[in-house]
């Protein structure tokens, strides 16, 4: 079994304030990185419970880095933050995609730390007319490669978002969102147990979940927040300015978009 895992720093239990995820408060972020890495390790353990010879490749998907490399699971492999473009070294050889530490898309009510790619610049993304966050865009990206997305852990709103796109997905909600910077959390130990059990169940049922399918051509609408420039997006092939805050990217290749 070969699993591709995407991580983020906003979704683990005990993290619900932006200063816990940013380098401006390094002491807070260091604790958060341990919390995420322990949840990643729990998911890896769940995978290995089903297939002791499984290969697990983890991509640290948090912008400024979210994995504590000294705590990282000895049986997994890690792609650290760096100059990387879609599909982030995922290919057709992977059996499934996992998400650990995931948050909901921008604008989701009562979703802790919800955003879409950038909490400071993006109001929303649409892909072929459908609102998507990081989970949706990357689940569709994996689907283009024939890889199903079978597991997600994070807050309850992120899990609900995932289930709306992938009805059969196995979800581990480690906290209940009460606001953008407020949540009720499981303890780390309880979160690890839930993640490990749910990850194992996902592995046992990979064949029951089909890849997310979206056929080309692709049209991605990106709307930025007030005061943010869209000039950088206009450099992409197929880009069209709609108004001062909105740009559309078009391509037959999903990996040329901002996914």
Express each pLDDT in 116-138 by its tens digit: 999 999 999 999 999 999 999 99
- Residue boundaries of the structural domains of the chain: 2-115+134-213
The single residue listed with the structure tokens 């949540």 is 183
Distance of CA 95 to the CA centre of its chain: 17
Domain 2-115+134-213 maps to which CATH number in 3.40.50.10780, 3.40.50.300, 3.40.50.150, 3.30.1490.390? Answer: 3.40.50.10780
**What is the tens place of the pLDDT at every residue in 159-175?**
999 999 999 999 999 99
**What is the tens place of the pLDDT at every residue in 66-107?**
999 999 999 999 999 888 999 999 999 999 999 999 999 999
Measured CA to CA in angstroms, residue 44 lies from 13, 50, 59, 156 at distances of: 17, 10, 13, 21
| Residues 104 and 94: beta-carbon distance below 8 Å | no
The single residue listed with the structure tokens 């399918």 is 213
Query: Region 16-42: what's the mean pLDDT?
Result: 96
Residue 237 has pLDDT above 90, yes or no: no
The pTM score is 0.96
């Amino acid at each position: 079994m070969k699993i591709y895992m995407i991580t983020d720093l906003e979704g683990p239990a005990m993290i619900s304030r932006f200063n816990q995820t940013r380098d401006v408060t390094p002491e807070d972020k260091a604790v958060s990185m341990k919390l995420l890495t322990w949840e990643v390790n729990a998911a890896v353990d769940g995978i290995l419970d089903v297939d002791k010879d499984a290969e697990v490749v983890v991509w640290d998907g948090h912008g400024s880095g979210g994995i504590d490399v000294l705590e990282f699971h000895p049986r997994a492999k890690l792609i650290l933050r760096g100059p990387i473009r879609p599909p982030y070294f995922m290919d057709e050889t992977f059996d499934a995609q996992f998400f650990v530490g995931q948050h909901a898309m921008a604008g989701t009510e009562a979703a802790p730390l919800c955003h879409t790619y950038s909490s400071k610049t993006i109001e929303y993304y649409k892909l072929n007319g459908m609102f998507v966050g990081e989970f949706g865009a990357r689940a569709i990206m994996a689907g283009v490669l024939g890889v199903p997305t079978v597991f997600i852990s994070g807050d309850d709103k992120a899990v609900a978002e995932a289930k709306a796109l992938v009805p059969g997905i196995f979800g581990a909600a480690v906290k209940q969102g009460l606001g953008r910077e407020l949540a009720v959390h499981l303890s780390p130990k309880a979160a690890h147990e839930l993640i490990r059990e749910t990850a194992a169940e996902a592995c046992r049922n990979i064949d029951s979940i089909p890849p997310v399918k979206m056929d080309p051509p692709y049209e991605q609408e990106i709307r930025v927040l007030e005061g943010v420039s869209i000039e950088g997006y206009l450099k992409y092939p197929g880009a069209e300015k709609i108004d001062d805050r909105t740009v559309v990217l078009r391509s037959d290749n999903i990996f040329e978009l901002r996914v």
